[in-house]
Structure 1
Amino acid sequence: MPRYAARMRSGIAILVAVLAAVAAPAATADEPAATAQSVFNKPGPYPVATPVRTNPCQESVWGMVEHIAVHMLGNHDDMTCTQAFPNGLESPIGVNTYYPANIAELPNAPLLVFTSGFGANPGMYDALARQWAGNGFVVVIPYEFFNSLLYVPALGVATAVTADRDPNSPLYNKIDLSRTIFAGHSGGGQAALQAGTAFPGIASLIDPAMRVLGVLAIEPGPLAVGALVSVPTLFLTGYNDFVVPDFAWVRWWQYNLSFQAPAWIANARGVSHFSPVDGLDNYLSAGTALAWLRYQAFGDEVAKDYFVGPNWRLPADKTYFSVERNALANALS
């Protein structure tokens, strides 16, 4: 009888083990890998201060036209605009500034000069600017409607340098000009590449501390040549973009000719030319943009893993149809 009871207990134990194995969750290796969007597309740790005020773009006639156009082309969220003409009656030329509200308590912040797209209102990038400022950047968005040539980011640099030197500014002696990055979308991406061509050689003439760390070119226009850009550059394109197709100039004479500095290009599925002015959850490269900015400006090790090393994570990111990097980026460690 004791022998029979022992066998019963052994059988029950085996049955329990089998049932537990069947009910257990799938192995970690079978789980989808984290994307840059899922890891980085989140609010930053800092509250954001800005004098910028936005309203729904469709409150103006021009804004209504833009609103209808981007929704017809696949955007999901309503855009926000400032009152800069033609979306309102304020000056069509200016600079919007965003920064951590507690910047006085923080180390000096890197400068991000972002140029809007051709014909775009600067308020359309309010969500991106707030995300970047919340992650520790001073963000300036210079604008003048066309937003396509070097003088526009130059206006942003001038505004930032003036604020850094002004004792009455909340940014007085708080901008780290040695960590300056140029960025832009569409025509503004073209202007950012032009800035990445011109500013590295003259930065110290503007301010002895100024240094350009890189360029973030989001679906950039054609009037820039990669061979002339001497700082690390990330090109973000969209698989559904018919305005700046991934296979056109952004590869022909921009990424493919980037041989002076490390360069990356990532073509996101489901992203159109107007996705950068959609909500952050619907712009599927928002997380990658922030990861690259954090890697360049802060040396963020988690972010760096997406771009550097033999096992860099971006090629495995299911957000992207294709991802490439040049020989200089491939040599980074």
Structure 2
Amino acid sequence: MTRCAAWMRSGVALVGVLVAVAMAPAAVADPPDPGPTAQSVFNKPGPYPVATAVRTNPCQDSILGMFEHIVVHLFGNRDDMTCTQAFPNGLESPVGVNTYYPADIAELPSAPLMVFTSGFSANPGMYDALARQWASNGFVVVIPYEFFNSLAYVPALGVATAVVANRDPNSPLYNKVDLSRTLFGGHSGGGQASLQAGTLFPGIAPMIDPAMRVRGVLAIEPGPLAVGALVSVPTLFLTGYNDFVVPDFAWVRWWQYNLTFQAPAWIANARGVGHFSPVDGLDNYLSAGTALAWLRYQAFGDEVAKDYFVGPNWRLPADKTYFSVERNALADAVN
């Protein structure tokens, strides 16, 4: 009996130990560090204050703007858009160019030119945050617009405005626009127009201005009326996994990225990004940092930015922002 009682006491003790172990907090390993994303590294204001004559207001201030506001929020945008008074969101001219630049540009040797075209029917004020971020990083940014924003004559209007300002002694941009570092970019219909500009302008740039050279194209969710085979400058295609208007698997690959064989090309498909994300707040447009990194790499040769696109260990494929990232053979050869 004594021995039996001892076994029972030992069993109870063992059960108590097992219960205590089971109830103790489990040791949880820290999640693996994905490393810094382009968004975390680059999505921030640059060192320069921004000068612009552009004034924006909530898009909901107009009937059309209220409709646009509802649409983009139905598609997943989180922030309220800003608009200018350009018709039909207001009573100002439907055609024009918005200009942004570093406020202390007089103290800079020069600044590269970014010509950005809005999306089809988009108000140029919807891209105010992107333009300010780029200008704060040392770019002269022009946003030409005329409602349709889908063909190369729209970025041509932006180029003309920048060239005139660069030659005008009364302009704050006089002799400050570095046309040898010109980039084109755009969203949706404007992305299509930027690819068209990347087709047309490299060959005729010296006829517009002897100093003008096209460094690259930033095509954000571009429309279908452009062919990659005709683009002859480095190009980054940014798409969105949640984009049902310009799906990553459609023409952006079929006859744009896949056919870009005259120049280095990259394509990055961001998780959680829809077609209207580029007009959302910068923190909610998850490719904003990558867009700026691309521009800094092409215009300034920024080594940190370059690491995301160049070399055998380029960093963008490891960026958890993206569902897929690819580059063509010519981009593979860049060093």
Query: TM-score normalized by structure 1?
Result: 0.91
Task: Look up the match of 1:147.
Answer: 149
SS in 1 for 2:169: coil
Structure 2, unpaired ranges of 5+: 1-27
- 1:31 and 1:78 map into 2 onto residues whose CA distance is 32
Cα distance in 1 between the residues matched to 2:77 and 2:291: 19
1 CA distance for matches of 2:227 and 2:319?
28
Task: State the SS of the aligned residue for 2:260.
Answer: coil
Pick from 135, 138, 144 the counterpart of residue 136 of structure 1: 138
Tell me how far apart the structure 2 counterparts of residues 258 and 30 of structure 1 sit (CA, whole Å). Answer: 36
Residues 245-290 of structure 1 deviation map (CA, whole Å, 9 limit, x = unaligned)? 0000000000000000000000000000000000000000000000
Deviation for aligned residue 1:171? 0.2
Deviation at 1:238, TM superposition (A): 0.1
Residue 117 (structure 2) aligns with: 115
Q: 1:4: which partner in 2?
A: none
Superposed counterparts of 1:69-108, under 5 Å: 69-108=71-110
| Alignment partner of 1:165 is 2:147 | no
SS of the residue corresponding to residue 190 of structure 1 reads helix
**Identical residues among aligned pairs (%):** 88
Per the alignment, residue 14 of structure 2 pairs with none
Q: Is 1:312 the equivalent of 2:314?
A: yes
- Deviations, residues 49-78 of structure 1 (Å, cap 9, x unaligned): 000000000000000000011011100000
In structure 1, how many angstroms separate the alpha carbons of the residues matched to 2:79 and 2:41? 22
- In the other structure, the counterpart of 2:257 is 255
- 1:57 partnered with 2:41: no
Q: What TM-score do you get using the length of structure 2 for normalisation?
A: 0.91
Report the number of matched residues: 308
Question: What is the rounded CA distance, in whole Å, between the counterparts of 1:66 and 1:144 in structure 2?
Answer: 17
Three-state SS of the structure 2 residue aligned to 1:202 is helix
Match of 1:274 in 2: 276
Partner Cα separation in structure 1 for residue 195 and residue 34 of structure 2: 35
Unaligned runs of 5+ in 1: 1-24
Whichever residue aligns with residue 268 of structure 2, its letter is A
Query: Aligned residue for 1:211?
Result: 213
SS at match of 1:170: coil
Task: Give the Cα–Cα distance (whole angstroms) in 2 for the partners of residues 127 and 107 of structure 1.
Answer: 25
* Corresponding residue of 1:330: 332
- Is the aligned partner of 1:174 residue 2:176? yes
Q: Tell me how far apart the structure 1 counterparts of residues 169 and 239 of structure 2 sit (CA, whole Å).
A: 41
Partner amino acid, structure 2, of 1:74: G
Partner Cα distance (1:269, 1:38) in 2: 15
Instruction: Give the Cα separation in 1 of the matches to 2:33 and 2:42.
Output: 19
Task: Say if 2:39 is the partner of 1:37.
Answer: yes
Task: Write the distance in 1 (CA, Å) between the matches of 2:155 and 2:62.
Answer: 27
Give the one of 170, 179, 201 matched to 2:203: 201
CA deviations on 1:141-193 (whole Å, 9 max, x unpaired) are 00000000010000000000000000000000000000000000000000000
Q: Which residue of the partner structure matches residue 185 of structure 2?
A: 183
CA distance in 1, matches of 2:36, 2:163: 38
Q: 1:299 aligns to what?
A: 301
Cα distance between partner residues in 2 of 1:282 and 1:316: 20
| Contact 2:238-2:267 at 8 Å conserved across structures | yes
Partner-residue secondary structure (3-state), 1:30: coil
Q: Equivalents in 1 of 2:229, 2:196: separation in Å?
A: 11
Tell me how far apart the structure 2 counterparts of residues 73 and 225 of structure 1 sit (CA, whole Å).
28
* Structure number with larger C-alpha Rg: 2
**CA positional deviation for 1:107:** 1.7
The answer to whether the 8 A contact 2:120-2:188 is kept is yes
User: What is the letter of the counterpart of residue 155 of structure 1?
Assistant: L
Provide the C-alpha distance between the structure 1 equivalents of 2:308 and 2:325, rounded to a whole number of angstroms.
11
Amino acid in structure 2 at the alignment position of 1:168? N
Q: Post-superposition shift, 1:30?
A: 3.5
Residue in 1 that maps onto 2:248: 246
1:79 CA displacement: 0.1
